[in-house]
Amino acid sequence: MPLNNQWMIKVPASTANLGPGFDSMGLAVDLYLTLEVEKSDHWEFFSPNPELNQLPTDETHFIAQIALETAKKYGKELTPCRVKMESEIPLARGLGSSASAIIAGIELADIVGGLNLTKEEKLLLSTDIEGHPDNVGASLYGGLVIGSYRQNEVEMLSFTNLSFEMAAVIPKEILLTKDSRGVLPNSFSMKEAIEASSAANVLVASMLSENWEMAGKMMERDRFHQPYRRPLIPFYQDVEQFAKENGAFGTALSGAGPTVLCFVEKGNGRQLVEDIQKAFPEMTVKLLQIDSSGSRVCETAKRN
C-alpha cells in the first residue's frame, strides 16, 4: 500500500518580557499549537477548535501566508497543504499565539518545501516577521531565551532546568498586541533607560542564580512597559497582591497582556492555581510548566 507524506508540527506557547526583559526575554510554556499537514491540490485549514475555525480556511490563512512567504525567500513555490490545526493557546491573551503561528508556518515551509533551514535561519526569519525575538525565540528553542535583534541580526541564548512554574490568570477579554504596544512611549530619558535596563540585567542574573526573591522584585521594577499597560488591565493589581500573599515570588504581565503570570517555586504551583481560581472565579487559571524543547516536527506515514 503506497504511503503519503504527512507531518506533525508542534509549537509551544510563550510568555514574553517577564517584566523588564521587554522585547528581549521569553519563556516557552507547555500549551501547544499542533498542525497535522499533508500535501494537497489546494490550501485547506480546519480545526475542531471553534476559535480557530473563525480564521480563514484557504491560502489567506496566516500560517499559509508565512509558509508561502518563507518558501519564496528561498526561491521555492510551495505545494498547497491540507492542515488540521489544534491549539491550547488562547488567541490575543499575551501567550504568544501569533509567534507560535509564525514558527508553525516556517516549520511547514521548511519540511514541505525541503528548505533545510538551520535554527538560526528560522530565528532570523521569524524575528524579521514578528519584529522582536522574545516569543518566536522561545517557541523555537524552548526554555528561557534572552535575545537581541538589530539590523537583521539576532543573537540569542536559551537556558533550561529552571525550577519554577507559573499560574497564568487569563481573562475572557482579548487584547491585541498592536493595541497594547500603542500605549507605550516613543522615547525614554537616559535616567529612565538606565533604571529600566538595570532591572532587566539584574532579573537575568537573579534567574540564572535561582535567587527567586530578587527575580520577583525585578519583575515588578520594570519601567519599559508594565506601568503604561496597567491601566488597560483592571484586575492586574488585585491578582498581583493576592498571588504575592499566597506564595508567588513575583508577578508579571504575560507579553503585552492581558494575562497575568504568577511565578512560584516548583511544586507550589498547583496550590496557588487553586487559591487564585477560588478568589477570581471569572478568570481561567492554568498551571504552566516550562517547555524545554521548543518546536518539533515529525513525519507520520499515512496509508492511501
Ligand X SMILES: Nc1ncnc2c1ncn2[C@@H]1O[C@H](COP(=O)(O)OP(=O)(O)O)[C@@H](O)[C@H]1O
Q: According to the binding rule CB under 6 A, does residue 19 interact with ligand LJ64HWYM?
A: no
Q: Which does 17 bind (CB under 5 to 8 A by kind): ligand X, ligand LJ64HWYM, none?
A: ligand LJ64HWYM
Q: How far is the CB of 297 from ligand X (least distance, A)?
A: 16
Which one, 17 or 206, has the nearer CB to ligand LJ64HWYM? Answer: 17
* E-state strands within the chain: 3-17, 21-39, 44-46, 81-87, 144-150, 153-159, 164-170, 250-253, 260-265, 284-288, 296-303
Full DSSP string of 142-210: -SEEEEEEETTEEEEEEE----EEEEEEE-SS---HHHHHTTS-S---HHHHHHHHHHHHHHHHHHHTT
**In the chain, what is the greatest distance between 2 CA atoms, to the nearest angstrom?**
69
Which one, 134 or 240, has the nearer CB to ligand LJ64HWYM? Answer: 134
Residue 126 is assigned to a ligand binding site:
no
Q: According to the binding rule CB under 6 A, does residue 12 interact with ligand X?
A: no
Q: Name the burial class of residue 265, with classes exposed (0-12), middle (13-18) and buried (19+) by CB atoms within 10 angstroms of its CB.
A: middle
By CB under 6 A, name the one of 100, 135, 206, 295 that touches ligand LJ64HWYM. 135
Per the structure block, which three cell numbers stand in for 4?
503519503
Q: According to the binding rule CB under 6 A, does residue 101 interact with ligand X?
A: yes
Q: How far is the CB of 15 from ligand X (least distance, A)?
A: 9
Query: What would the x/- binding string for ligand X be over residues 43 to 82, using CB under 6 A?
Result: ---------x--x------xx-------------------
By CB under 6 A, name the one of 107, 110, 134, 222 that touches ligand LJ64HWYM. 134
Going by the DSSP 8-state scheme, the letter that residue 55 receives in this structure is: S
* Annotated binding-site residue numbers for ATP: 90-100
